[in-house]
Amino acid sequence: MTSLHADEAFLGHYQLSHDPFAPRVPGFKFFPAQRKPVLGQLHHLARYSQLLLVVTGPLGSGKTLLRQALVASTNKQSVQSVVVSARGAGDAAGVLRQVAQALDVATAEPNAILKQVVQLGLTGQEVYLLVDDAEQLDESALEALLALAAGTPEGRPHVFLFGESSLIAELEQISGDQELFHVIELQPYEEEETREYLAQRLEGAGAGIELFSAQQISDIHESAGGWPGTINQVARDALIEAMIASRTAVKRPKMGFTMPKKHVLAISAVVVVAVAAAWLIPGRSKAPTTAGAPTEQAQLPLGKPTPNVEFANSGQPTNLPMVGQPVMRGPLAEEAGGISEGDDGVPVEGSSATPPTVTTTAPPAGVPAGQPAAKPTPAPTVATAKPAPVTKPVAPAPAAKPTPAPAAKPAEKPAATVAKAGAAGGSWYASQPTGNFVVQILGTSSEANAQAFVKEQGGEYRYFKKVLNGKPLYVITYGNFASRAAADSAIKALPAKVQAGKPWPRTVASVQQELATAR
């Protein structure tokens, strides 16, 4: 089933009014768990703090939805919200140009923008400047935004950056020892919050949480790590897989082996030949042979003169097919006995399918059936197949055992080495015990950022690639632990900079499942 057909069937199968797990759905309510306190904190800091505010979390953690809720919950009479994106315009010129256009400023420079902010302040309006995908801002853009957040004694905009945790390191490098920004880190949902989140999503589409069992909800939570964006993807995949499985079970025919009618007839013919030959062999009589006569005859009770049959491998009894029996060719013969043929349908020489060479001549007139002819007249060449020069039956040589080639050296480096070199270490995760744990540090949409982070930290850091909402996500992990307790202990020993991203333990099995889904 293609993805398009699965999408169409998905809604009808569960009688949904829309895809409940799409990024944007009609009438979706802001889910308060783990996010409502952050929303209140942002409003409080915008009013009383003079610092640039940073909201961080991995891809799929709900940063964009929180930004939308922040804009929606502000007083439109007293706040003008300017939303810009760093995607594709991450330098200072690109960001300032977007801000200047939104505020109707002719010159895209910090001083000109600040003057407009002061003018709006005199009319009783504050300016909220919100930047999405802020991890893609370069150093010049971050410096310009810090300058806008500092403002002037007369006024300043409230600047909010929504991005991945890699943004923090860039800001720390620019700020030095100065306190210029405040960080709020989003947290993943607990399992009960995941259940409530799924229920709210399904309810908006006209369904209920009963579509999932308790075990499915637990599996979805563990696979997604509690992050809402990943919960959407995993839950949707689970419903589609269940739909396909149920339809396959209904359409699956009864198990049993059926053979085409023509194959049955062909095999029946073989059985008839075998039975007839078994009946003939015990009752055959050997006719007296003349010295030097190279033939052996078999009496066939057909009521007609028996032809002399000359075998190239004389002395070996051979069962002959009865006259008029069909000859098995092509796939029918292969079905019946595994006969090997060449590309043109001719049995391969030396195979078990190659028949003995037979020369058939009719006895001269007046010679009784079963008596050897004095000197049989050679049959015309047209009717006589030239016998193969076989002097002695040669048993087929046993198949020679192939000489094992020298073991090739593995082309790939060990998975750990690959991971340390900065490559996506999917093979390393696949080779680890499923019950082990790794510590998920962060996820980023930029592979270059993931490689830089792994290279900077070194040691047991590695990353793998998955797909989230149709986009690649590079997930960085640390270590390899036999238990969750060992992973929790390792988190406490990580550098403060790494702990700022709120790392959490997860099973290797969940990573392997995401790798399998991404293929």
CATH of range 36-185; options 3.40.50.300, 3.30.420.40, 3.30.300.130, 3.50.50.60: 3.40.50.300
* 204 pLDDT above the threshold of 80: yes
Percent of the chain surpassing pLDDT 90: 36
What is the pLDDT confidence band of residue 458, given thresholds at 50, 70 and 90? confident
Percent of the chain surpassing pLDDT 70: 64
Note the CATH number of domain 415-518.
3.30.70.1070
Strand order across the beta sheet in which 471-481 lies:
461-468, 471-481, 437-444, 504-507
pLDDT value of residue 467 = 81
pLDDT value of residue 303 = 45
pLDDT value of residue 402 = 47
36-185 and 415-518 share one fold = no
| pLDDT per position as a tens digit, 416-453 | 333 343 445 678 998 999 899 999 988 888 888 889 88
Q: Where are the domains of the chain?
A: 3-9+191-248, 36-185, 415-518
Q: How far is CA 439 from the centre of its chain?
A: 23
Find the range with the poorest average confidence among 144-148, 204-208, 242-246: 242-246
Find the range with the poorest average confidence among 320-329, 393-402, 491-500: 320-329
* 389 pLDDT above the threshold of 70: no
Mean pLDDT, to the nearest integer, of 110-137? 93
What is the pLDDT confidence band of residue 297, given thresholds at 50, 70 and 90? very low
3-state secondary structure of 424: coil
Give the integer Cα–Cα distance in Å for 26 and 23.
Answer: 10
- Could you tell me how many residues make up the chain? 519
Find the range with the poorest average confidence among 156-165, 182-191, 457-466, 492-501: 492-501
pLDDT value of residue 321 = 45
pTM (2 d.p.): 0.50
pLDDT value of residue 422 = 40
pLDDT value of residue 252 = 52
Find the range with the poorest average confidence among 51-60, 67-76, 378-387, 472-481: 378-387
| pLDDT per position as a tens digit, 3-61 | 444 556 778 888 888 899 888 787 777 787 888 899 999 999 988 888 999 999 998 89
DSSP 147-197: HHHH-BTTB--EEEEEE-THHHHHHHHHHTTS--EEEEE--PPPHHHHHHH
Q: Select the highest-mean-pLDDT range: 191-200, 328-337, 367-376.
A: 191-200
Which of the two residues, 388 and 82, has the higher pLDDT score?
A: 82
pLDDT value of residue 367 = 45
What is the pLDDT confidence band of residue 510, given thresholds at 50, 70 and 90? confident
Question: Who's near 67: CB < 8 A, 6+ residues apart?
Answer: 55, 83, 130, 132, 160, 162
What is the pLDDT confidence band of residue 87, given thresholds at 50, 70 and 90? confident
Query: Which helix (DSSP H) or strand (DSSP E) does residue 311 occupy?
Result: strand 308-311
